[in-house]
Amino acid sequence: MTRPLRFIVIGAGMSGILAAVRLKQAGQSNFTLYEKGASIGGTWRENRYPGLTCDVPAHCYTYSFAPHAEWSAFYAPGAEIKAYFEKVVDDFGVRDFIRFNTEVTACVWDGECWRVTLADGAEDSADIVIAASGVLHHVNEPVFSGKDSFAGAIFHSARWDDSVVLDGKRVGVIGNGSTGVQIVTALAERAERLLHFQRSPQWIMPVQQFAYSDEDRAAFRADVTKIDAIRLGDEYWGGIRRFNSAIIDPDSPAMQEIENLCRRNLEESVRDPALREKLRPDYRAACKRLIYSWSYYEAAQAAAVSIETGSIDRIEPQGIRMIDGTFHPLDVIVLATGFRADRFIRPTKVKGADGADLDALWKDRPTAHYAVALPGFPNFFMLNGPTGPVGNFSLIDIAEQQWAYIAQLIKPILAGKSRTVQPTKAAHADYDRRRIEAARGTIFGSGCSSWYLDKDGVPLTWPWSYDAFVQAMASPEIDQFVWG
Ligand code: NAP
C-alpha cells in the first residue's frame, strides 16, 4: 500500500528529468517540476558556445534506462545532448509535469509540508521537495574596469550571443577552463586573430575523438548490447576507478600515470619551447578539473592564435589593455570565466523545521548529508548537491545513485508508516568532519585555485572512492536518519 504524496522537483535539467522519470515509473503522478527557464536541459540549455562537447563518452553520458544509438561522435556535441534530454522527456511522458518560466523563490517547511513560493507570487505545497537545481549555472563575471566601455560584443560563455559574427574577427577569450579551451579550439580557424587570455596554465589530458558512421549507429540501434559494451565496459569503468583512486591518493601509481600522460602530451604536442613553457602548469595534474582535449594544443599553435599570459589591467573601447601596457585590439570578448559553483539552490530561500535556515547553515560552506539531505530540513533532498562526487565522469550516473538512496529513505513515508525523514544533526556533523578531513588530502587540495574549493581552500567534493560512493548510496545507514 502506498500513501498518495505530492512531490515538487526544482529544475528540469539532467537530474530533475531523472527525478520526474523515476517518480512516474514508481507510479507517482502528483508531482510538478518547476523550471525557471523556457525549456529543459539545464547546463545543456544554458551553454551553446562553439565547440561545446561533453568530455564524457556519449554512450556513458546517458540515463541507464535510455540508451541512445544516434550519437554522431564518441564525445557528443552539446546540442545533441540537449536533444537527447528532450527525447527522454517525451519518450517517458514527463513533459506535462513541467511548468516552464517558473522560478521557485522559497521553500518553507510549515510543520506538515513544504510551502513553495514561485516568482509570480503563486504558492504550491508538497510532502517532498527534490532540489535538482544544478551546480554550474550562476555565471562568474569578474569585474574588469572599463568593461561597459567596450565598443564590440562582450558576453559570458554561458550567455552566448548568436547574433555576433566571429568569422574573420579579432576575438579575445578570457579563461582556459574546459569551456575556454573548447571555444578556442573551435574558433582557431575561424577568427582572424584569437587571443587566449590565460591566468593559470592547465594540464591537458589527451583523448581521441572520432565520428560514428551511419553503420555504427545502425549497429547500435539493432543491438543494444553494443551500446552496453561501451557504457558498462571495462575501458570506461576501469578508467573511472583509476581516476578516482588517483584523486583520493595523490601519491598513487594511478596519479603518476595521469601526470605522465599530461606531461608527455605537453612535451610532444607543443613544438615551440617558449610556448610550451607558457602552457606548463606549476601545480599537479587533476588539481583543477582535468581538461580532456584532442586538439587544444594544435589550436594554440595555429597561426591566428596567441596565448596571453600577462595580467589584464582593463577593458578599453577598442580592446584589452594589459598591466605591462600592451594593448590587444579586439572586436569580440568572450568571458569563459566559469561559475559560482558554491551557490547550488540559492538564492531560493529554504527554511526548515524549528527555524533552520539554509543560508545560515551554508554560511561557511554548502554541505549536505552524503550530498543529498540536511538535518532540520525534513523531506528535502538534493540531486548533485554539495559534497557529491565531481570529476571527469558522468554526473548522470551520480544522480541516478543518489535517487536510489532517496527512494530508500522515503519508502516508509510512501508506505504510510511515517511522514518525514531527515538526517540527524550528529550523523551529519560526523559526515562533515570526516569528509573535510579526507578532502584536504585529495589531489584537488594539492595547491591550485579551482571551483572545487570552498572559501577556506578545502575541496567541496566527495573525498572517498567511487566504490565507497556506490556502497553509501546503495544502503543508507538507517541509524543516521530520523523518521517522524
Ligand atoms: P572554470 O573551470 O572555472 O574556468 C574559469 C577560467 O576563467 C579559469 O581559467 C580562470 O582562471 C579564469 N578566470 C576567472 N576569473 C578570471 C579573471 N578575473 N581574470 C582572468 N581569468 C579569470 O570554468 P569553465 O571553463 O566554464 O568550466 C567549469 C566547469 O564546467 C568545468 O570544470 C566542467 O566541470 C564543466 N564543463 C564541462 C565540460 C565538458 O566537456 N564536460 C565543458 C565545459 C565545462 P584561473 O584558472 O587562474 O582561476
User: Which grid coordinates belong to 37?
Assistant: 527557464
**DSSP element (H, E) containing 327:** strand 327-329
Q: Measured from the CB, is residue 199 less than 6 Å from ligand 1?
A: yes
Residue 440 Cα, ligand 1 centroid: separation in angstroms? 21
Residue nearest to atom 35 of ligand 1 (CA): 178
348, amino acid identity? T
**pLDDT band at 391; cut points 50, 70, 90:** confident
In a domain, 2, yes or no: no
Q: Measured from the CB, is residue 391 less than 6 Å from ligand 1?
A: no
Tell me: do 208 and 121 sit in the same domain: no
- Ligand 1 atom at minimum distance from 449 CA: 48
Residue 291 Cα, ligand 1 centroid: separation in angstroms? 10
Tell me: do 77 and 118 sit in the same domain: yes
Mean pLDDT along residues 18-42 = 97
Mean pLDDT along residues 430-442 = 98
Residue nearest to atom 41 of ligand 1 (CA): 54
Tell me: do 421 and 400 sit in the same domain: yes
Residue nearest to atom 14 of ligand 1 (CA): 337
Mean pLDDT along residues 214-218 = 98
Nearest residue to 243 via CA among 481, 444, 104, 476: 444
Tell me: do 218 and 302 sit in the same domain: yes
Tell me: do 38 and 110 sit in the same domain: yes
In a domain, 270, yes or no: yes
**pLDDT band at 392; cut points 50, 70, 90:** confident
Residue 174 Cα, ligand 1 centroid: separation in angstroms? 9
Alpha-carbon distance 155 to 367, whole Å? Answer: 31
Residue nearest to atom 3 of ligand 1 (CA): 338
pLDDT of 4 higher than 90: no
In a domain, 1, yes or no: no
Beta-carbon contacts of 235 under 8 Å, excluding residues fewer than 6 positions away, are none
Residue 176 Cα, ligand 1 centroid: separation in angstroms? 6
Residue range of the domain that includes 99: 7-138+340-483
Sequence length of the chain is 484
- Model confidence pLDDT, tens digit, residues 297-333: 999 999 999 999 999 999 999 999 999 999 999 999 9
In a domain, 93, yes or no: yes
Tell me: do 87 and 213 sit in the same domain: no
pLDDT of 45 higher than 90: yes
- Ligand 1 atom at minimum distance from 181 CA: 25
**pLDDT band at 90; cut points 50, 70, 90:** very high
Tell me: do 350 and 315 sit in the same domain: no
Residue nearest to atom 28 of ligand 1 (CA): 338
Number of compact structural domains in the chain? 2
Tell me: do 51 and 125 sit in the same domain: yes
The alpha carbon of 189 is separated from its chain's Cα centroid by a whole number of angstroms, namely 28
Q: Measured from the CB, is residue 136 less than 6 Å from ligand 1?
A: yes
Q: With contact defined as beta carbons under 8 Å apart, do 139 and 33 qualify?
A: no
Residue ending a domain, among 307, 335, 363, is: 335
For ligand 1, pick from 174, 202, 337 the residue to mutate: most ligand atoms within 8 Å of CB. 337
Tell me: do 290 and 172 sit in the same domain: yes
For ligand 1, pick from 178, 307, 309, 343 the residue to mutate: most ligand atoms within 8 Å of CB. 178
Bond into 347 cis (ω within 30): yes
Q: Measured from the CB, is residue 365 less than 6 Å from ligand 1?
A: no
Domain of residue 183, CATH code: 3.50.50.60
Q: Measured from the CB, is residue 55 less than 6 Å from ligand 1?
A: yes
Nearest residue to 22 via CA among 167, 115, 128: 128
pLDDT of 52 higher than 60: yes
Nearest residue to 442 via CA among 241, 254, 286, 261: 286
Beta-carbon contacts of 145 under 8 Å, excluding residues fewer than 6 positions away, are 313, 314, 315
pLDDT of 3 higher than 90: no
- Model confidence pLDDT, tens digit, residues 277-286: 999 999 999 9
Mean pLDDT along residues 351-363 = 96
Residue nearest to atom 17 of ligand 1 (CA): 142
The sign of the dihedral angle between the CA atoms of 126, 385, 231, 237 is negative
Residue ending a domain, among 293, 318, 335, is: 335
Residue 337 Cα, ligand 1 centroid: separation in angstroms? 5
368, amino acid identity? A
pLDDT of 1 higher than 60: no
Q: What is the pLDDT of residue 304?
A: 97
Tell me: do 201 and 314 sit in the same domain: yes
Q: What is the pLDDT of residue 2?
A: 60
Q: With contact defined as beta carbons under 8 Å apart, do 188 and 302 qualify?
A: yes
- Ligand 1 atom at minimum distance from 176 CA: 9
User: Which grid coordinates belong to 398?
Assistant: 551520480
Alpha-carbon distance 204 to 440, whole Å? Answer: 23
pLDDT of 112 higher than 70: yes
Q: What is the pLDDT of residue 180?
A: 98
Residues above pLDDT 70, as percent of the chain? 99
pTM score of the predicted model: 0.97
User: Which grid coordinates belong to 240?
Assistant: 573511472
Tell me: do 279 and 415 sit in the same domain: no
For ligand 1, pick from 199, 247, 461 the residue to mutate: most ligand atoms within 8 Å of CB. 199
Q: Measured from the CB, is residue 178 less than 6 Å from ligand 1?
A: yes
Q: What value does the mean pLDDT of the chain take?
A: 97
In a domain, 369, yes or no: yes
Tell me: do 93 and 160 sit in the same domain: no
Q: Which residues of 28-66 are buried (b: 16+ CB within 10 A; e: fewer)?
A: beebbbbbbbeebbbbbbbbbbbbbbbbbbbbbbbbeeb
- Ligand 1 atom at minimum distance from 55 CA: 40
Residue ending a domain, among 289, 312, 335, is: 335
What residue has cell string 565522469? 393
Q: What is the pLDDT of residue 310?
A: 97
Residue 357 Cα, ligand 1 centroid: separation in angstroms? 30
Mean pLDDT along residues 363-367 = 95
